[in-house]
Chains A and B, each alone.
Chain A
Amino acid sequence: MKIAISATGQTVDSMLDKRFGRCQYFVIQDTETGEVETVENKGLTSEGGAGIAASQQLIDEGVEVIITGNLGPNAFELIEKSGIKAYKCHEMVIRDVLEKYGSGELLEIEESGPAHHGGH
């Protein structure tokens, strides 16, 4: 199973970024192999709907779990419909985030946070 975490850097030693749609990277760990890969967030370069672009990217990557700070309403709707589970966590080193997830300490995100409208 693949777990994606919104991150400020490219490794498990970087910090979790609470912004989902506008984070720099997603650190993705495959729990079966333990392998870690990093992708650049497509939402960063999108004009509007950053959260949707980021969600779509993770859906296409075959991710089943997302860990981040907040989800906007659009991202929340899309992630929920796709059957991905999203968990909330505050800023900490990704390695610790994974550990917390593993021990069942993280809470599922059950409603969306405030919307972020890109400027026009």
Chain B
Amino acid sequence: MEDIDLEEEDNLNIAVLSGKGGTGKTTISTNLALALGAKYIDCDVEEPNGFLFLKPNIVNTEEVMVEYPVIDEDKCTDCGVCVDVCQFNALASAGNGILLFEKLCHGCGACEIVCKYGALGYGKREVGRIEKGMGHGINCSRGILNIGEPMAVPVIRSILRNLDDGLNIIDCPPGTSCNVVTSLRYADGAILVTEPTKFGLHDLERAVELVDMFSIPFGVIINKDDGRENIVKSYCKDRQIEIIGTVPYSDSIALAYSKGEMLYATQDNRALFDHLAMGLGEVLEWT
């Protein structure tokens, strides 16, 4: 495992993951970003909800565009070669013209290459947006996938490709899908958020498998911790995975969450997240 050297990198990107949704990934990402004075980046583009807590004033919105093929019907001979070459079934031949299913198109460009009649060109369409603003004194940005669009990767890439210098906390999509893999490509370190239950452990194991492929340093934060020796703690011990810290189960945290409040804004919880921030520095060894 490589340690992170802040001196050599302009930015340090920490991905926050969880094996499934609803483990407190967003609560931990947003509050940790505040504790660290880091930038918060929400790339859970299908359900970005960090802004519900950070409530930034949005000062900048950019569209995310993807390319898709446009067929010139006057030139098209209906030969069907483009249909055969498309791996994603985005093109079909109804026998009386070519049909494009733009949402399935991955923009690979193969159809244009094989068309001998110059009938295929490209157009652009919007699949999502990126919003930026300041909230609770930190820079916040999020990607949003337009409703009905099946492919999140272009939006995730577009937000992560242009990260600013400094420390970036990246709130990743839940699960271990290719959206998460895309996010991890840009990460220098990772935090795996889990709960001390059987399901939590199962999801953690899958997340660990995934992060292991990237050889980046990572640690675990246990949310809703019971303060005991639980299955997640013993798993981490067995696998020599470091625990960055824990967030106890508490009614006041649940209440603040339900009201859309930042935990870091309250005295008790501020200490909790300052502590986690220190733990993170130690585990990822950037101090």
Given contacts A48-B89, A120-B153, 4 further A-B pairs with CB under 8 A are A52-B101, A56-B83, A59-B93, A120-B179
A78 touches B99 (CB 8 A): yes
Given A49-B101, A74-B101, A77-B99, CB of A117 within 8 Å of CB of B150? yes
The answer, yes or no, to whether A15 is at the interface (CB within 8 Å) is: no
Q: Which residues of B contact A (CB under 8 A)?
A: 83, 87-90, 92-97, 99, 101, 104, 150-153, 177-179
> DSSP class of B's interface residues: helix, strand, loop or mixed?
loop
B178 touches A120 (CB 8 A): yes
Q: Please list the 9 inter-chain residue pairs (A to B) with the smallest Cβ-Cβ separation, ordered nearest first.
A: A49-B89, A82-B94, A81-B94, A52-B89, A49-B104, A53-B89, A120-B178, A78-B92, A56-B92
Residues on B with C-beta less than 8 A from A70 are none
B99 touches A47 (CB 8 A): no
The answer, yes or no, to whether A10 is at the interface (CB within 8 Å) is: no
In the complex, what distance in Å separates the CA atom of A78 from the CA atom of B97? 11
B104 touches A82 (CB 8 A): no
Q: Chain A: how many interface residues by the 8 Å CB criterion?
A: 19
In the complex, what distance in Å separates the CA atom of A90 from the CA atom of B17? 42
Given A117-B150, A120-B178, CB of A47 within 8 Å of CB of B92? no
Within the complex, which residue of B83, B89, B95, B177 is in contact with A46, where a contact is CB–CB below 8 Å? B89
Render A62-82 as a binary contact track against B, CB cut-off 8 A, 1 for contact: 000000000000100110011
In the complex, what distance in Å separates the CA atom of A119 from the CA atom of B151? 10
Tell me the nearest residue of chain A to B97, going by C-beta: A81
Q: Which residues of A contact B (CB under 8 A)?
A: 46-50, 52-53, 55-56, 59, 74, 77-78, 81-83, 117, 119-120
In the complex, what distance in Å separates the CA atom of A13 from the CA atom of B147? 43
Tell me the nearest residue of chain A to B86, going by C-beta: A49
Tell me the nearest residue of chain A to B150, going by C-beta: A117
Within the complex, which residue of A46, A81, A120 is in contact with B99, where a contact is CB–CB below 8 Å? A81
In the complex, what distance in Å separates the CA atom of A46 from the CA atom of B88? 7
B94 touches A120 (CB 8 A): no
A50, A81, A83, A119 interface centre (most CB from chain B within 10 Å):
A81
Residues on B with C-beta less than 8 A from A119 are 177
Residues on A with C-beta less than 8 A from B153 are 120
Residues on B with C-beta less than 8 A from A47 are 87-88
In the complex, what distance in Å separates the CA atom of A53 from the CA atom of B88? 9
Given A77-B99, A119-B177, CB of A49 within 8 Å of CB of B94? no
In the complex, what distance in Å separates the CA atom of A59 from the CA atom of B177? 33
Least CB distance, B287 to chain A, in whole angstroms: 37
B150, B153, B178 interface centre (most CB from chain A within 10 Å):
B150
B150 touches A82 (CB 8 A): no
Residues on A with C-beta less than 8 A from B97 are 81
Residues on A with C-beta less than 8 A from B152 are 120
In the complex, what distance in Å separates the CA atom of A83 from the CA atom of B94? 8
Tell me the nearest residue of chain A to B87, going by C-beta: A47
Least CB distance, A103 to chain B, in whole angstroms: 29
Least CB distance, A68 to chain B, in whole angstroms: 17
Tell me the nearest residue of chain A to B95, going by C-beta: A82
Tell me the nearest residue of chain B to A117, going by C-beta: B150
Residues on A with C-beta less than 8 A from B90 are 49, 52
Least CB distance, A106 to chain B, in whole angstroms: 23
Residues on A with C-beta less than 8 A from B83 are 56
Least CB distance, A93 to chain B, in whole angstroms: 30
Tell me the nearest residue of chain A to B89, going by C-beta: A49
B92 touches A55 (CB 8 A): yes
Given A77-B99, A120-B151, A120-B179, CB of A48 within 8 Å of CB of B93? no
